[in-house]
Each structure stands twice: as C-alpha cells, then as structure tokens.
Amino acid sequence: MITHKVILGMALSIVFVSSPSFGSPGTGRHNVKKATAAKSVFGKMADGTTIDLFSLTNAGGTTAKLISYGASLESLSVPDRNGNFNDVVLGFDDLKEYLGEHPYFGATIGRVANRIAKGKFTLGGKEYSLAINNAPNTLHGGKEGFSRKVWKGEIIGGSAGASVRFTYVSPDGEEGYPGTLKATVVYTLTDQNALQIKYTASVDKTTIVNLTNHSYFNLAGSGSILNHVLYLNADKYTPVDSTLIPTGEIAPVRGTPFDFTAATAIGARISQVAGDPGGYDHNFVLNGPAGRLKLAARVSEPTSGRQVEMWTTEPGVQFYSGNFLDGTNKGKQGAIYAKHGGFCLEAQHFPDSVNHANFPSTILRPGSLYRQQTVYKFSTK
C-alpha cells in the first residue's frame, strides 16, 4: 500500500507500508522498518534523453539501484553476518561508463540471450541473419541488444515490496529479428531480502525470445570469486565447441569439473575446464520442470557469510566465472575488475536453442505470452 508521494525537483520518493522488523540475520544496524522506492536522474544521453535511477530499499536497509539504460541492476547492497553492508554486484558509478564497452554489467539481455551459431536461424522456412558481434556468432541480442536500449521505468506498488517496472518495444526487424516485441521487466525487493525479476513479452509475428539478467556477483564485495562455494541443482549440462556453441549433446556432470551437485569452491577444478581464457561459461540443465519456480543455485562466501540462492522458472542457467574480465573496466569507486572478479548465474533457455530441435523452444508466436521469473534471495550463514 502506498502511503504518500513527495516530489522534490527531479526526485520522486514513495514509501510503502512494511512489517515492523526485517526478519533476516545480520541487519540490525540498518533496520529502517519501511520499504521505500525513489526515482532520480542517473545521467543524460548525448541527445538529451534522461536516464533514470530507481532506488529500492527494504525494511532491513538492503538497497537495489536500477537504471533505465538496459533496465540494468546498477548496485545491490546487502549485509554480511555482522550486519555490515557491501555492494555485491559489479557496475559503474556514471552513465558514461555504461555507454562504453563493457561485459553487460547488470543488464537485461534480449531479444535473445547467449549465443546463436553463425548468427543464423530459420523460422517458417525463412532464414534470418543477425549481426556477428562475438565472432563467429551472435551474442546477447546483437550489436545493440536490449542491454543498450533506453527502457521506460516507473515505480509501482504491490504487497511484495518496492518495485520498478521497465518496458521496451522492439520494432520488427531490429537487429534482424522478426516481429514487433513488447517486453516488460519488473524488479521487486522484498523484506525477505529477495530481488525478484519477472519478465513478460508478446509479439505480433512469430519470433524467438530468451531474456535474462546479466549481473556479476561478488559476495565479498571485492577480490576473486574462486573461493565462493557453489551448488547447482543440475545433473546435466550442454557441452560446447571452441566457439562456446552447444554441440547438441546433453551430458551428465558426474565425474567432470562441471559437477556442482555437491557444494564446491568455484576455483577447485576450474583449471580442468578447457578453452581460452579458461573457466566456466556453460549452460546447466536444471532438475525439475520448466515453468515452475525451483531452486537452481546456491552460492556462499565464507569470509562475509553472505549467501545467495537463485530460484527460477527457466530450464537452464548459464554459469559464468568472469573469465574475460581483465581489469580494462574500472568500476564503482575505481574498483578494478580482474579475471574471476565476479560470477554470473543467468537464468534462461539453452544457448542456440533455435538451432537445436532437442532443446527447449525459444519460439514465441502471436497470441502467446512469454513469462519468466527469477529470484535472487540473500541471507547469511
């Protein structure tokens, strides 16, 4: 329930009725006892278009900041076991850095996440060609995918917590994809320390769609993620060729360095993963039915005690260990993001699904609604 609105210059603040206590460990120092949502200006594009910043804060003081450029998660401040808050996602302090080259920090990815082999697919007997932006393949929607679009953002009410809704209309033919597609992404920060992301999309012509969020997490707030301990609820994965395109095989993880069915440090067997520059960048086939919210992954960081669970309705998750981070991008407060400085858990359909009949379909037809829900739930141990 919204109790009041205050407009001061360019800022909009909304306060939501909330429970009197947070209910999660390690937050007593910042117990604000109410959920709030605020809108301000993050920056301006060269043509004068305003990029909005939305700040969502829950009753315990956890804060998620989102920007309308790429419908991106810019920061996420959560407590450790002692109640000390740190930003646990990689990103930038200003718009200029987001407009430059970077590895999709926090962005909403579309129209199709992950890779499409050689930038080609066929629908209804017609072949479509996409931009090759990750030679020899298409990656994350093309040269200017959803991560580089200005979305319309608005604060919305709801019983779950403070929320912001982003919408974007992708015209027919954009980046080579057929059909005009309307996409919506709603972020909600709950008082249970969960960041919920709900996606919907509709189209006027048969197309393909596969949306995800590309946040890089570091539960310590800095340094390497190789000591983070990972559990994946996946007995199988999809092996890839030298260009990271799935071979079409769905293989068991047992007896391989891809077996995280028992919680294991990310760095324990990473040297056994072939390829250049080495590390994990693979799709895992989640146990349980697609379309139903289920536990996909759990990651803990021993020093801070922070833990995150990812729940999703998607059939797969791309686990990426930040292999291509090389210090080129200077992040928030001058942070240097070195190799393995963050990890991604990207809930999605499998890579190159449109070219593999045995993979879950990414085809969306007129009259059907694409739905996806992913939740990142934080706690301490």
Q: Which amino acid is at 13?
A: S
The predicted-structure confidence for 332-361, as pLDDT tens digits, reads as follows 999 999 999 999 999 999 999 999 999 999
* Spatial contact of 316 and 92, defined as CB atoms under 8 Å apart: no
3-state secondary structure of 1: coil
3-state secondary structure of 237: strand
Lowest mean pLDDT among 156-160, 165-169, 184-188: 156-160
The predicted-structure confidence for 73-103, as pLDDT tens digits, reads as follows 999 999 999 999 999 999 999 999 999 999 9
**Which of 45, 293, 74, 77 is closest to 166 using CA atoms?**
74
* Spatial contact of 244 and 115, defined as CB atoms under 8 Å apart: yes
Has residue 5 got a pLDDT over 90?
no
**Which of 57, 61, 155, 53 is closest to 106 using CA atoms?**
53
Domain 2-380 has CATH 2.70.98.10: yes
Cα angle 206-208-209, degrees, rounded to a multiple of 5: 125
**What is the per-residue pLDDT for 182?**
98
pTM score of the predicted model:
0.91
What residues act catalytically?
214, 346
* Spatial contact of 69 and 62, defined as CB atoms under 8 Å apart: no
Has residue 272 got a pLDDT over 80?
yes
* Spatial contact of 351 and 283, defined as CB atoms under 8 Å apart: yes
Q: Which residues share a beta bridge with 123? A: 126
Question: For the chain, what is the mean pLDDT?
Answer: 91
* Spatial contact of 218 and 304, defined as CB atoms under 8 Å apart: no
More confident residue, 162 or 180: 180
The predicted-structure confidence for 33-66, as pLDDT tens digits, reads as follows 688 999 999 999 999 999 999 999 999 999 999 9
Name the one residue in this structure whose structure tokens are 């799709």. Answer: 283
Walk across the sheet containing 35-44 and list its strands.
Answer: 2-8, 11-16, 35-44, 50-57, 63-67, 72-79, 85-87
DSSP annotation of 50: E
Q: How confident is the model at residue 30 (pLDDT cuts 50, 70, 90)?
A: low
Q: What phi-psi label fits residue 334: left (phi over 0), alpha (psi between -120 and 50 degrees) or beta?
A: left
Lowest mean pLDDT among 15-19, 274-278, 329-333: 15-19
Cα angle 349-354-357, degrees, rounded to a multiple of 5: 95
